Amino acid sequence: MPEIAGMARAYRRMTIHHRKKMMTNIMEKSDSLFMNTYGRFPAVMVEGKGCVLKDDTGKEYLDFVSGIAVCSLGHCHPAVTEAIVAQAGKLVHVSNLYYTLPQTELAELLVAHSFADRVFLANSGAEVNEGAIKLARKHGGPGRYEIISLEGSFHGRTLATMAATGQAKFHKGFEPLPEGFVHAPFGDLAALGKMISAKTCGILCEPLQGEGGVRPLPQEYLQGIRELCDRHGLVLIFDEVQVGMGRTGTLFAYEHFGIEPDIMTLAKALGNGLPIGAMLARQEVAASFSPGDHASTFGGNPVACAAAVTVMKTMLADGFLAAVNRKGEYLAGRLQGLAEQFPDLATGVRGMGLIQGLVLTSRGASLGADMIKSLFGKGVLANFAGGVALRFIPPLVVSESQIDEMVDRLHDVLGAL
């Protein structure tokens, strides 16, 4: 340990020039070690607190990405850190051959505050979507295996969830795709209805497409999808991996629509950064799984569950979700102001709560990636979603003054184009 303290002291004494050099070394080393799957920004992040991240050179960033809607309570939320540390000192892993307290407490909270009666815990969004696909097939019975999902959707990177994803760019080079997935054109209920056959077991959709460009499903469309499922005995699966857990201003996005699914998947913000996913279902559907049908070694890990319990309790505390709605409206209003100021770049704003997209014109969209790069240079993190919108998904604890600061810097970026 004294060596580490010594290294930290030596690091603090380094000049910015040396730190920058060290950062370049880390980036070069990473690029030579890892498979080339990520296009990264040139920053080595070392610390985070609330909505602010700090890199290796001491530069600060206002974080409107939140690790892709993951750190919703902000970086290193003290109560979450405390829960993680306390649980790590007690019990880290035992497998699902035994019962543990944190996962039972988490399941109890999820069931008490959702439509669902039963829970399955796993480690990521793709993994719980795989579970949902398996459950829908098992529930459908022999010969009913096809899932209809929507164009523009995103459901994950495993083979099945990639096949469910309704964007061709994710499929290229990985054919043949697993069988049993078809995609309906977005917003066209009649076309969706025509795709239902004796093979169909379920419809999978995001109430608001996040990766697809911050695109909420119209109310009547979602209502129509629910009715199609009821009429044909299909399970309706909501992928709330990105928009669940308070992001839209309600604990789950489906609450806005007043439409309940039969299965719902959660992941990103559930553990505020610890890897955890949950698949929830109504009892009648969940009953189609028997022991041995599905499992996960790490799923329901006590440390991840202890973090998730704290996330749930924090979000359910008085005033938390009301503040998300208030700040979401404020963010949307400020972005709308920019859209009006720069009509050649942006057409408007869409989103719910604290997932908001500045929708770009075709000229704007051709510059979307550059806008994000310039923002990064000015110390603001955001991303460009679906090739159509700048997406803003700050920690839900963001303040109005941080929103103002981000909008001011975005104003400068747009003004320079």
Q: Point out which residues bind ligand PLP (CB under 6 A).
A: 124-126, 129, 154-156, 206, 210-211, 239, 241-242, 267-268
- When the beta carbons of 151 and 405 are compared against ligand PLP, the nearer one is 151
329 exposure class (CB count in 10 Å sphere: 0-12, 13-18, 19+): middle
Q: Considering beta carbons, is residue 150 or 286 the nearer one to ligand PLP?
A: 150
CB nearer to ligand PLP: give 242 or 272. Answer: 242
Of 124 and 248, which has the nearer Cβ to ligand PLP? 124
Min dist. Cβ of residue 215 to ligand PLP (A) = 12
Q: What is the 3-state secondary structure (H, E, C) of the chain?
A: CHHHHHHHHHHHHCCHHHHHHHHHHHHHHHHHHCCCCCCCCCCCEEEEEECEEEECCCCEEEECCHHHHCCCCCECCHHHHHHHHHHHCCCCCCCCCCCCHHHHHHHHHHHHCCCCCEEEEECCHHHHHHHHHHHHHHHHCCCCCEEEEECCCCCCCCHHHHHHCCCHHHCCCCCCCCCCEEEECCCCHHHHHHHCCCCEEEEEECCEECCCCCEECCHHHHHHHHHHHHHHCCEEEEECCCCCCCCCCCCCCHHHHCCCCCEEEECHHHHECECCEEEEECHHHHCCCCCCCCCCCCCCCHHHHHHHHHHHHHHHCCCHHHHHHHHHHHHHHHHHHHHHHCCCCEEEEEEECCEEEEEECHHHHHCHHHHHHHHHHCCEECEEECCCEEEECCCCCCCHHHHHHHHHHHHHHHHCC
Would you say 72 or 129 has its CB closer to ligand PLP? 129
- H or E element, residue 223: helix 219-232
Nearer CB in complex with ligand PLP: 225/267: 267
Nearer to ligand PLP, 364 or 394 (CB): 394
Closest CB to ligand PLP: residue number: 125
For ligand PLP, give the closer residue by CB, 53 or 269. 269
